[in-house]
Amino acid sequence: MSVGTRSPEFVMTKTPLRISFAGGGTDLPEFYKDEYGCVVSTTITQYIYVAVKRHGHLFNEQYRLNYSETENVREVGAIKNGIARECLRLVPVQPPIYISTVADLPSFSGLGSSSAFAVGLLNALHLMRGERVAGAQLAEEAAHVEIGILKRPIGKQDHYACAVGGLNYIRFQCDHRVMIESQHVPRIQELFGDFMMFWTAIQRDASTVLSEQRDKTHVNRGTLLRMRDQAEQLRNLLWGGFDVEKIGRLIDEGWRLKRQLASGISNEVLDGCYERAVGAGAFGGKLCGAGGGGFFLLVVPPGKHAKVREAMRGLQEIEFAYEPHGSDALLIA
């Protein structure tokens, strides 16, 4: 869909990060090609911003990229950043162009940042071409880039979560169709008031853990089926209003199952942090994403926040809230 008669000179998009509550791992095609997969996840008020602008003709490079590194190249194929390179091939924009990205939270931390970057960049490139596309299309394009082209051992849940936004039950069909069911929970901000998140200060590339998990799909089939069932249970809990203790216990059970899927998902130090939080009153929680570091998400009744905060002393607490929207344009000029 066209956004106007003149192509923009500058676009900035804002794409939320996500938290997956239940069902993670069943969104890998190695699982859902035989058994449908499903997850319950939400976007949060922490974001990745992507800016794309027409680059000045006096510069020598055709493509300038600014992220954790800086790249100045003359051809798309010379771009080292795989996501940026393949997004530009999929949705080409006439050079010279400048691309910059910045995030509210560190990458490699289990909140879907690489997928949010892919979604946000594709959204910006479409807008630079005068096109507005639906969230589901952005999600499929981003998944095609990361899974189909770059062969990363990940599932589709992050792309759909970041592109569509909100609290969703997402189902992955055996024929590769994806169904999204928005969860309209009364008093959802109250529910989010019972969540706490702590930064372990450990950044890790999830590829090693996810590759092992993918390769063990057949061995882990029974565990993955139980984790899929937990996503269904959580969906039913949300439909009935919400019981914070039941939600916390369900997430705790899922975390204990998840640790069986591959080595490196947790370790003695991380397990010790988690058990201290539970001992201080948390109903349950998990390490976000593939595990191994990143952020602890905890479900904590209000009266126990201070005790849990003390138990997690040394880890930085991160404030966040519910984000109902997916990737969107902040500025088109």
For residue 225, how many other CB atoms are within 10 A of its CB? 14
Amino acid (one-letter) located at 230: Q
Do 205 and 126 belong together in one domain?
no
Residues linked to residue 327 through DSSP beta bridges, in sequence order? none
Query: CATH code at 87?
Result: 3.30.230.10
Distance, CA of 118 to CA of 82 (rounded, Å): 10
Residue 4 within a domain = no
Count other Cβ atoms within 10 Å, centred on residue 196.
Answer: 22
The reply to whether 32 and 137 lie within a common domain is yes
Q: Do both 124 and 271 map to the same domain?
A: no
Closest CA to 329 of 142, 130, 151, 159: 130
Q: 215 Cβ partners below 8 Å, 6+ apart?
A: none
pTM: predicted TM-score of the whole model, two decimal places = 0.95
- Rounded to an integer, what distance in angstroms lies between the CA atom of residue 320 and that of residue 297? 11
The pLDDT of residue 5: 54
Q: In terms of DSSP bridges, do strands 10-22 and 70-73 run parallel, antiparallel, or are they unpaired?
A: unpaired
Q: Which percentage of the chain shows pLDDT scores above 90? A: 83
Beta bridge partner(s), residue 331:
12
CA 27 from chain centre, in angstroms, equals 13
- For residue 122, give the amino acid letter: L
Phi, psi dihedrals of residue 108, rounded to the nearest 5° = 55, 45
Write the CB contacts of 286 (distance below 8 Å, at least 6 apart in sequence). 251, 252, 254, 255, 258, 296, 297
222: domain range? 188-317
| Residue spans of the chain under pLDDT 50 | none
Residue 107 burial (10 A CB sphere; 0-12, 13-18, 19+) = middle
Where in the chain does DSSP place strands (E)? Answer: 10-22, 37-54, 63-66, 70-73, 97-103, 167-172, 178-182, 195-199, 284-287, 295-299, 316-317, 328-332
Q: Does residue 3 fall inside a structural domain?
A: no
- 163 within domain boundaries: yes
Residue 107 and residue 79 in one domain: yes
Q: Are residues 157 and 275 in the same domain?
A: no
Do 170 and 222 reside in the same domain of the chain? no
Q: Could you tell me if 47 and 175 lie in one domain?
A: yes
89, 26: one domain: yes
**For residue 179, is it within any domain?**
yes
**Number of domains observed in the structure of the chain:** 2
β partners of residue 171: 38, 179
Tell whether 105 and 210 lie within a shared domain. no
Q: Is 100 a member of any domain?
A: yes
The CATH number linked to 270 is 3.30.70.890
Does residue 18 sit in the same domain as residue 123? yes
User: Does residue 1 form part of some domain?
Assistant: no
Q: Chain-centre distance of CA 36, in angstroms?
A: 20
pLDDT number for residue 7: 84
* SS3 state of residue 37: strand
User: What is the distance between the alpha carbons of residues 80 and 69, in angstroms, rounded to a whole number?
Assistant: 10
Q: Could you give the angle at the alpha carbon of 267 between the alpha carbons of 288 and 26, nearest 5°? A: 40
Q: What is the pLDDT of residue 122?
A: 98
pLDDT of 2 reads: 53
Q: Are residues 253 and 306 both part of a single domain? A: yes
Q: Are residues 205 and 182 in the same domain?
A: no
pLDDT value at residue 244: 93
Q: Report if residue 322 sits inside a domain.
A: no
Say what the pLDDT of residue 185 is: 86
27 part of a folded domain: yes
* Angstrom distance (rounded) from CA 6 to CA 151: 36
pLDDT at 1: 52
C-alpha separations of 296 from 32, 126, 249, 261 in Å: 27, 35, 15, 18
